[in-house]
Amino acid sequence: APERLVDSRNNVGTVGALVPNQVRPLDLGAASGGVLAELTIVDPAAAGYATVYPCDDATAGGGTSVINAPKSTNVANLILMRTDAQGQVCITTTMATQVLVDVMGRV
């Protein structure tokens, strides 16, 4: 069953809103190798995008966006990705925003 593992509005899985260009680890629970999840950008302060990658892959930061959002518009996208050994992925956004992550499955 889907499970909400990150809600920055309520300090679940990460603390508080993301700020532009900050690398923030998101705790997706027990290490599993990978997750199928829905990432939602909530009330972004400006138009921008988010990049998500395994935290142990330093070369992945600054890769391509996984979600684009206009200002003040909630947008969701399905992502399938590897987690690091601790079950985390890192996120970087180009705008201040809240984020939600609902894990649909583990691979």
pTM for the full predicted model: 0.91
Chain segment 43-55, per-residue pLDDT in tens = 999 999 999 999 8
Question: 30 near 87, Cβ under 8 Å?
Answer: yes
Tell me the HSE value of 48 on the side-chain side, using a 13 A CA sphere. Answer: 20
- DSSP for 42-69? ES-SSSEEEEEEETT-TTTTT---SEEE
Sign of the torsion formed by the C-alpha atoms of 83, 93, 43 and 70: negative
pLDDT in tens, the chain (107 residues): 889 999 999 999 889 999 999 999 998 877 668 899 999 999 999 999 999 999 888 676 656 789 999 999 999 999 998 898 888 899 999 999 999 999 999 88
CA-closest candidate to residue 13, choices 43, 40, 50:
40
